[in-house]
Structure formats: structure tokens, C-alpha cells
Amino acid sequence: MKRCVIIGNGAAAAGCIEGIRSADAEAEITVVSAEKHAVYGRPLISYYLEGKTDPAHMNYRSADFYEKNGCRVLYGRTAVGLDPERKEVTLDGGETLPYDAVCVAAGSSPFVPPFEGLDTVEKKFSFMTLDDAETLAAAVREDSRVLIVGAGLIGLKCAEGLRGRVGAITVCDLADRVLSSILDAECAGRMQKRLEENGIGFLLADSAVRFDKDVAYMRSGKEIGFDILVLCVGVRANTALVKEAGGEVGRGIAVDEKMLTSLPDVYAAGDCTESVDCSSGARKVMALMPNAYMQGFTAGVNMAGGEARFDNAIPMNSVGFFGLHAMTAGTYEGELFEEKTDGTLRRFYVKDGLLKGFILIGDTTRTGIYTSLIRERTPLASVDFALLRQSATTAAFSPAERRRKFGGASK
Amino acid sequence: MKRVYVNEEWCLGCHLCEYNCAFANSGKNDMATALKGKRIFPRIHVEGADKITYAVSCRHCADPICVKSCISGAISKKDGVVCIDRDKCVGCLTCVLVCPFGALAPGEDGVMQKCELCLQNGVGAPACVTGCPNRAIVYEERGEEE
Ligand SMILES: Cc1cc2nc3c(=O)[nH]c(=O)nc-3n(C[C@H](O)[C@H](O)[C@H](O)COP(=O)(O)OP(=O)(O)OC[C@H]3O[C@@H](n4cnc5c(N)ncnc54)[C@H](O)[C@@H]3O)c2cc1C
Ligand code: SF4
Ligand code: SF4
């Protein structure tokens, strides 16, 4: 019987378990889970603070998931070593797990820059795990002044989640705009406005230089008093296990279309990996839930001896704050087509006759039609692109293509 | 499994399927109280323009990317039918970002909804099909992969 070991227990691990079971009902599966929880929807932690969900509904899979799939889960245990020659994973505590195939699905960790005086701050938090969210929820009071360092997705989602629970929230970032990795200044401005209208304060193009207990001294000379500090500066892929075992690692663990690393029988999936973005051809970390699941599933099928490839990953985001949604996907390069109104913005990037990327704000109805054009590399010459730019509709496809899509043949 | 299919040539563009869908999922016994004077949130949409119209609803894909993408694990496939656990959905719209058919949209309460073939709402068979005056929508087995 094949022995499969999965390191990590997030969405990528869940995908891996389902991938293995789709190809092999017998294989032995052991999951090493540093967190003491069954797999949950990590992005839900901000919705939990907001009161839109609760731990009873955050489980990513049903309560009998591991049992049904015949998995042994080692909760609260960490893999500390990987030996690709002896084919063994070493756990904290020293015991080893032999494997025939292993998947590193270790996610990422919050990155904390070495701020001066950070050790003098009593109430400081990261925002990555359910435990983080629960400790933060327990620490805030109705009159707390919260300072969030980092205006990326995680920092802003944390701000939205905390808004109804605290007195004041300020978000600071070195970048001159919010969501700087996915939005340009104009688009970012629209999202920032919505956040400001809902009582979130911003200090952008400014960074904390030093902390002293409950004061942040900013580069601009400003001093910000706070009771609660949340550090959402960024995340780093957990690559150490593969790197130390001699595997190829960039910003993430390098994987191919089968999710195989450069080490034999060592697969990797999810936020800890870097792979090819099919909209640009560049290798990058695409740390997103759908990619994590699909990579995990692909790894699982291959670990079980099946054949699967995942060759159309792209960065894609659905980001909403206080009811205003933005969706982005792919790469912003090539010719720009833009349509704007007061409440909406649509940008499409076209190169080599293909849709390469988009940014939509306000109206995001049926956006998946656009996303699939990028992922499936549909030649724009074969669709009515002028119509599509107005609205996402399958009427832009030819009748023959529609018949193929709707009429029988699976996609 | 049986799926909902549309014959473009026969669709009149009357939008009745949208009303029948909204009514079937309203939980009400009377169409007027359920829909009259209200904005409706159907799970099937008539698309197209001028000469060509047709209705689109969830394809219950063999490899459903919505299931693989949902951040809360709220979408699952049971016996071939792709369903949403509306108590788990947080309205993040990730499924809208990925569905190639544009088959998901938030309902009146902001929670995601999609066609579940009228199997969960007590109606028993797709109301869009039953009510189509020109039999442009059918519910049948065409041997597609499940
Ligand atoms: C607040 C927040 C909001 C987000 N919002 C979105 C969103 O809206 N949409 C979206 O697509 N993505 C979002 N993301 C990103 C998304 O959560 C990740 O892409 C996804 O969780 C990645 O899954 P994963 O399985 O690769 O890693 P993770 O979910 O991070 O799981 C990895 C697990 O492995 C464990 N682990 C690490 N090392 C070891 C070891 N050596 N031994 C044992 N266990 C180990 C970790 O403790 C962790 O539990 C958000 C993230 C956060 C924090
Ligand atoms: S919602 Fe979209 S992706 Fe999901 S099964 Fe239906 S058609 Fe397929
Ligand atoms: S909107 Fe709801 S169903 Fe759709 S991906 Fe988000 S949580 Fe899942």
C-alpha cells in the first residue's frame, strides 16, 4: 500500500486528500497539521470578526472528512525535516514518517520586519490563523484604538472585520495606495474611499520606524497612539523543508505542472509554492485559495500514480469591502480597454489577440466569463469582444461555441 | 444525470423561466405575493439580443471550478448536483470570479445562489422547464460526463 504524507492541513492539503482518493482508494494518508484545527477557510477569519460566520460554519469540509477519506491527522505536530533519500519526514519530537510520496502544503507565515521597539508593545497580533482571530477578538474592546501595519488584502480585511468592534482603526503602509500589489492608484483610490467612508483611517506612503509601548513613531514624524497593533506587512512562503533538503526554491518552492518539486516524489502545493502564471509565463507565488486547492488536487492525483496537470493558474482576486467589490485577474500588460462610470470601472488588457488581464470595480456580475477567457486562452477574434467589454455575456460566443459549451460536450 | 438544456432556436425570449425560477425558490404558494412589484433574483437568465435568445443556468460541470474555489467550502457536488450551503457562504464572490458560465449571483439577501435543479426547494423538477411555453428548455439525459 502506498504511503502518502501531507505536510500542512489547509486548502491545499484538502485538495491533495481529495486528489489522492480520486485515484487510489487504498493509499495510506497521514496529515501533519501544525494547527490544532480541522481544515477551515482561512480567509473566513475576517468574516468571523465581523460576525458573518462562526467557527461552527468555518470548516472547509464536513466533520467526517478525514474519517471518510481514511486519513490519519497528527494535530499540533510540525514536520521539521524532509529526507528525500531515505524518504522520510521528521516530526518535532524526533519520530519519522516514511513515505512513498509527500506533499509539502505548508502555506506561508507572516513576515515581521525588525521594527525597533516592537518588543515593548504589549498587545500585538498577526492575522493568519483562526487562533490569531480568536485572540484578537478577545483582546479588543469597544473603545480600542487599533493600528494595522499593512494595507494589503489581509490588513484591510482585518480592518473591515474589526470595524464594528472597536473605537478607531488606522491602517498604515509604506506604499502610496491600498492593495498596491493588485491595484493602480486610481482603482486603489476607489477602494480606499469606501473604506474611509466606513470609518477606517489611512496613513499611506508612511511607515512605522519605531514603537514605544503604545505609540508608533512614523517616518513622516507623526506619532500614532494605539492600544492594539496588528502586523499585516506581508507573508513569506514556508519553503524551508524543501530548501534544506536541497530542492529548488525561489520565493516559493518551485513546482512543475504536476506539482512535483525538483526532488523525486516530493510534491508541493498552495501558498508555499511558485509556479507559472499562464497569463504572463512568469513564475510566481500565487497565494490564493482556488489555486491552493487545485494545486493540491493535482499533486494528490499524481502522488497516487494518476496523471494530472495544472497548467492554467493565474493570479485572480475577488476583494470586497463594505459592499464594494473589485475583481482582478491575470497580467496587466498589452493594450488597455477601459470603461468608467461613477460607480464602476472596467479595464481589460489585451496582448497577442488574447485577454491577459482585467480589473473590475463596482459591477462584477458574471466575471467568471472573463476569467475563463484568460485561463482558456480563447482567441479574442473568435468572440464578440466589443460586446464583452460592455457586459459579461455568453452571447459574445458563436452559436457553435455556445452549443459546445451548453449543449452536451463537457468543458 | 439529467441536466437542463436550452434550444436556442425555440426560445421566444419571454423571460417566463426567470419568473418561474424566482417563484419556485420563493417558498411562497402564490406567484403574485411572491413576485408582484418586486425585483426578482432568478437563477436562470435569458441572454442574447434581437433574433437569438436563450436561457443560461448552472451546467453542473463535470469538473466544477466553483466547488474548487469557494473559500468557505460552501459549494459541493452531491449526486451530480452542484449545491450551495447558504449558511456557510460569506458572499466573497470568488465563485462569481471563476464560473465560466456566469451561473452564480447573490440573492436578495446577498448570499450566493444558483440553480440546484429544483431538487432542494420542494418543487421536484426544474420549474423553468415545466413552465417554458415553447419547450425551449428541456431536462434530459444527454450522456454527458457527471
Ligand atoms: C485574512 C486572510 C484573507 C484571505 N483572503 C483570501 C481571499 O479572499 N481569497 C483567496 O483566494 N485567498 C485569500 N487568502 C489566502 C488564502 O487563505 C490562502 O491562499 C490559502 O489558505 C492557502 O492554502 P494553503 O493550504 O496553501 O496554506 P494554509 O492555509 O496556510 O495552510 C498551511 C498549513 O500548514 C501548516 N504548516 C506549516 N508548516 C508546517 C509544518 N512544517 N508541519 C506541519 N504543518 C505545517 C500551517 O500551520 C497551516 O495550517 C487570505 C488569507 C488571509 C490570511
Ligand atoms: S456554478 Fe458555474 S462552475 Fe459551478 S457547476 Fe455551475 S456552471 Fe459549473
Ligand atoms: S460567495 Fe459564498 S459560495 Fe461563493 S465562493 Fe464566496 S463563500 Fe463560496
State which CATH number among 1.10.1040.10, 3.40.1360.10, 3.30.450.20, 3.50.50.60 fits the domain covering A3-108+237-303.
3.50.50.60
Are A115 and A210 in contact, with CB atoms under 8 Å apart? yes
Q: Measured in Å, how far apart are chain B's first and last C-alpha atoms?
A: 7
Q: How many CB atoms lie within 10 A of CB A77?
A: 18
Q: pLDDT of B87-146, one tens digit each?
A: 999 999 999 999 999 999 999 888 999 999 999 888 889 999 999 999 999 999 988 888
- Whether residue B29 is found in the same domain as residue B76: no
Average pLDDT of every residue of chain B: 93
Q: Tell me if residue A81 falls in helix, strand or coil.
A: strand
Q: Tell me if residue A272 falls in helix, strand or coil.
A: helix
Do B72 and A290 lie within an 8 Å CB cutoff? no
**Residue A26 exposed, middle or buried by CB count within 10 Å (0-12, 13-18, 19+):** exposed
Q: Quickly state the pLDDT bin for B49 (edges 50, 70, 90).
A: confident
- What are the two backbone dihedrals, phi and then psi, of residue A374, each rounded to the nearest 5 degrees? -70, -50
Q: What is the ipTM of this complex?
A: 0.96
Q: What is the pLDDT at residue A287?
A: 96
For chain B, counts of helices (H) and of strands (E): 5, 8
Q: What is the pLDDT at residue A403?
A: 86
Q: Does A309 touch chain B (CB under 8 A)?
A: no
Closest CB to A365 among B48, B92, B105: B105
Angle between helices A185-197 and A153-162 (to 10 degrees): 10
Q: Which protein residue's CA is at the shortest distance from atom 5 of ligand 1?
A: A43
* Mean pLDDT for the stretch of residues A36-65: 97
Q: What is the pLDDT at residue B27?
A: 87
Q: Which three cell numbers stand for residue A39?
A: 481544515
- Whether residue B66 is found in the same domain as residue B104: yes
Q: pLDDT of A152-161, one tens digit each?
A: 999 999 999 9
H helix or E strand, kind and range, residue A349: strand A345-351
* Total beta-carbon pairs less than 8 A apart between chain A and chain B: 129
Q: Answer whether residue B15 shows pLDDT above 70.
A: yes
The tally of domains found in chain B comes to: 2
Q: Which protein residue's CA is at the shortest distance from atom 52 of ligand 1?
A: A43
Closest CB to B68 among A294, A368, A372: A294
Ligand 1 centre distance from Cα of residue A294 (Å): 14
- Whether residue B50 is found in the same domain as residue B26: yes
Percent share of chain A, pLDDT over 70: 99
Place of cell 494530472: A308
Q: What is the pLDDT at residue A407?
A: 75
Q: Which protein residue's CA is at the shortest distance from atom 4 of ligand 2?
A: B66
d(CA A315, CA A318): 11
Window A:358-377, CB contacts with B under 8 Å: 364-369, 371-372, 376
Cβ within 8 Å of residue A292, ≥6 positions away: A10, A11, A12, A15, A105, A269, A270, A271
| Lowest-confidence region among A16-25, A188-197, B48-57 | B48-57
Structural domain A118-233, CATH architecture = 3-Layer(bba) Sandwich (3.50)
Q: What is the pLDDT at residue A120?
A: 97
Helices (H), A174-317: 185-197, 240-244, 289-303
Q: pLDDT of A275-316, one tens digit each?
A: 999 999 999 999 999 999 999 999 999 999 999 999 999 999
Q: Which three cell numbers stand for residue A290?
A: 482556488
Q: Quickly state the pLDDT bin for A409 (edges 50, 70, 90).
A: very low
Kindly give the number of the ligand 2 atom that is closest to the alpha carbon of B104.
1
Q: Answer whether residue A411 shows pLDDT above 70.
A: no
> The pTM is what?
0.97
Window A:56-115, CB contacts with B under 8 Å: 57-61
Q: Answer whether residue B54 shows pLDDT above 80.
A: yes
Do B100 and A366 lie within an 8 Å CB cutoff? no
- Give A323 to chain B, closest Cα distance, Å: 10
Kindly list the domain boundaries of chain A, sorted by start residue.
Answer: 3-108+237-303, 118-233, 331-406
Do B97 and A327 lie within an 8 Å CB cutoff? yes
Give the residue on B whose Cα is nearest the Cα of A294.
B68
Q: What is the pLDDT at residue A410?
A: 37
Which parts of A71-184 are beta strand (E)?
Answer: 71-75, 79-83, 88-91, 96-98, 101-104, 108-110, 124-125, 145-149, 168-173
Do B102 and A393 lie within an 8 Å CB cutoff? yes
Ligand 2 centre distance from Cα of residue B67 (Å): 8
- Whether residue B53 is found in the same domain as residue B67: no
Q: Does A320 touch chain B (CB under 8 A)?
A: yes
Kindly give the number of the ligand 1 atom that is closest to the alpha carbon of B94.
9
Q: Answer whether residue A402 shows pLDDT above 80.
A: yes
- Whether residue B8 is found in the same domain as residue B43: yes
| Lowest-confidence region among A46-60, A101-115, A376-390, A395-409 | A395-409
Q: pLDDT of A105-119, one tens digit each?
A: 999 999 999 999 999
Q: Which three cell numbers stand for residue A275?
A: 509556479
Closest CB to B102 among A47, A58, A392: A392
- Give the distance from CA A238 to its chain's centroid: 14
d(CA A408, CA A404): 7
Closest CA to A357 of A343, A344, A338: A338
CA-only gyration radius of chain A, Å: 23
* Mean pLDDT for the stretch of residues A128-132: 98
- What are the two backbone dihedrals, phi and then psi, of residue A15, each rounded to the nearest 5 degrees? -60, -40
Q: Cα angle vertex A38, ends A36, A40, to 5°? A: 110
Cα–Cα distances (Å) from B3 to A93, A369, B81, in that order, read 53, 21, 9
- Whether residue B67 is found in the same domain as residue B44: no
Ligand 2 centre distance from Cα of residue A316 (Å): 17
- Chosen from B72, B111, B115, B137 to mutate, greatest number of chain A CBs within 10 A: B72
Q: How many CB atoms lie within 10 A of CB A324?
A: 18
Ligand 1 centre distance from Cα of residue A350 (Å): 32
Q: pLDDT of A365-395, one tens digit each?
A: 999 999 999 999 999 999 999 999 999 999 9
Q: What is the pLDDT at residue A256?
A: 98
User: With a 6 A CB cut-off, is A270 part of the ligand 1 pocket?
Assistant: yes
Do A366 and B91 lie within an 8 Å CB cutoff? no
Average pLDDT of every residue of chain A: 96
Q: Which three cell numbers stand for residue A326?
A: 473589485
Question: Which residues sit with their C-beta closer than 6 Å to ligand 3?
Answer: B 70-72, 74-75, 84, 89-95, 112
Answer yes or no: same fold for A3-108+237-303 and A118-233. yes
Give the residue on B whose Cα is nearest the Cα of A60.
B73
Q: Answer whether residue B37 shows pLDDT above 60.
A: yes
Q: Answer whether residue B55 shows pLDDT above 70.
A: yes
Closest CA to B94 of A278, A44, A296, A136: A44
- Whether residue B107 is found in the same domain as residue B77: yes
* Mean pLDDT for the stretch of residues A20-39: 98
User: With a 6 A CB cut-off, is B64 part of the ligand 2 pocket?
Assistant: yes
Q: What is the CATH number of the domain that holds B47?
A: 3.30.70
* Mean pLDDT for the stretch of residues B38-59: 91
Closest CA to A9 of A88, A78, A63: A78
d(CA A168, CA A170): 7
Q: Cα angle vertex A219, ends A216, A223, to 5°? A: 35
Q: Tell me if residue B54 falls in helix, strand or coil.
A: strand
Q: Which domain holds residue B42?
A: 1-57+116-146
CA-only gyration radius of chain B, Å: 15
d(CA A165, CA A163): 6
Q: Which protein residue's CA is at the shortest distance from atom 5 of ligand 3?
A: B70
| Lowest-confidence region among A51-60, A252-261, A376-385, B4-13 | B4-13
Q: What is the pLDDT at residue B146?
A: 83
